[in-house]
Structure 1
Amino acid sequence: MASVDVTSLLLLGLAALGIVSHNAPVSIAVLLLLLMRLAHLDKWFPVLEQHGLNLGILVLTMGIMAPLASGKMGTDALVRAFTTPASLLAIVVGVFVSYIAGKGVPLMAQNPVVVTGILIGTILGVALFRGVPTGPLIAAGILAVLLGLGKKLG
């Protein structure tokens, strides 16, 4: 009797949750990882584990800065960012969120079980509460601060 591949079943379950919750990035990522497992490309998992988060942050940062680079965000928008109360508050919130996310990076790197929990929580938040599938890194940062790990990890 063939043994059940529990890891592949877990990946399928996460993909199903991603599909049900309309979380395309999670669904695609999980299905690509499952495809890598099925194609016996397991040797690439350590590379993904070591560099995937940094590569993802790099691509995300490029996406955020693209309007500036393309000229869609001109100097007038940059000046306004420092002149209205709402935009000044946005800057403060951006600094705070970036700080919190920075606390999450080491937590996610050192505790893969937490990553799974955050991923499941994010998917459930999208599926059950019409949330938006952003913020696993922020969630990890908040968790690190709540657990009192902020000073230890970062």
Structure 2
Amino acid sequence: MSIQFNAIALMLVLLILLGVISNNNSITISATLLLLMQQTFLARYIPFFEKHGLNIGIVILTIGVLAPLVSGRIKLPNLMEFLNWKIFLSVAVGMLVAWFAGRGVNLMGSQPVLLTGLLIGTILGVAFLGGVPVGPLIAAGILSLLLGKI
């Protein structure tokens, strides 16, 4: 079986290399799986992931965030701790970030070409600024504000 290198395959290889260099396993694994899918009979499943992948990923991410609460490793704060200004600020920031992510989903849906730049920016942020690779949705939301898009 020969690998058909087109612009998308080349971009995926570049993302794999950037993922390896920046030690970003999510990008490396995702781009590798998509490259393998693109180059094999699994290509027929790519539209499924295009349609449902973001929702599946959000469900898995939410499970990861809630698991420490369910396991008891993190305790829910009592009522007096909830009245702390830091809790109110954390709720407000959480709402703002969720709003950014919502805007990001809309922007990525309407202008998917921007996703490559956002991913590269996220990878560079992880590699050179000590960031964490959870930013493309938030970055897209902030970008939508800067671009004046909804």
Taking structure 1 as the reference length, the TM-score comes to 0.87
Which residue does 1:19 correspond to in 2? 20
Cα RMSD (Å): 1.9
Q: Distance in 2 between matches of 1:78 and 1:143?
A: 37
CA contact (8 A) 2:102 2:141 kept: yes
Which residue does 1:92 correspond to in 2? 92
Moved more, 109-118 or 24-33: 109-118
List 4+ stretches of structure 1 deviating above 6 A: none
Matched residue type, 1:38? Q
Q: Distance in 2 between matches of 1:83 and 1:4?
A: 57
Which residue does 1:44 correspond to in 2? 45
Q: Distance in 2 between matches of 1:124 and 1:73?
A: 32
Which residue does 1:69 correspond to in 2? 70
Which residue does 1:130 correspond to in 2? 130
CA contact (8 A) 1:105 1:137 kept: yes
Q: Distance in 2 between matches of 1:40 and 1:14?
A: 22
Q: Distance in 2 between matches of 1:129 and 1:35?
A: 30
Moved more, 83-92 or 132-141: 83-92
- The CA deviation string for residues 49-84 of structure 1, in whole angstroms up to 9 with x for no partner, is 110011111111111111222233334x25365122
Q: Distance in 1 between matches of 2:100 and 2:10?
A: 33
Note closer, same or farther for the CA distance 1:4–1:63 as it changes in structure 2 (3 Å cut).
closer
Q: 3-state SS of the aligned residue for 1:116? A: helix
**1:18: how far off?**
0.6
Moved more, 62-71 or 42-51: 62-71
- The CA deviation string for residues 90-121 of structure 1, in whole angstroms up to 9 with x for no partner, is 11111111111111111112222111110011
Percent identity at matched positions? 47
Note closer, same or farther for the CA distance 1:80–1:105 as it changes in structure 2 (3 Å cut).
farther
> Gapped runs of 5+ residues in structure 2?
none
> Gapped runs of 5+ residues in structure 1?
none
CA contact (8 A) 1:15 1:30 kept: yes
Q: Distance in 2 between matches of 1:80 and 1:115?
A: 43
Taking structure 2 as the reference length, the TM-score comes to 0.89
Aligned residue pairs total 148
Note closer, same or farther for the CA distance 1:81–1:51 as it changes in structure 2 (3 Å cut).
farther
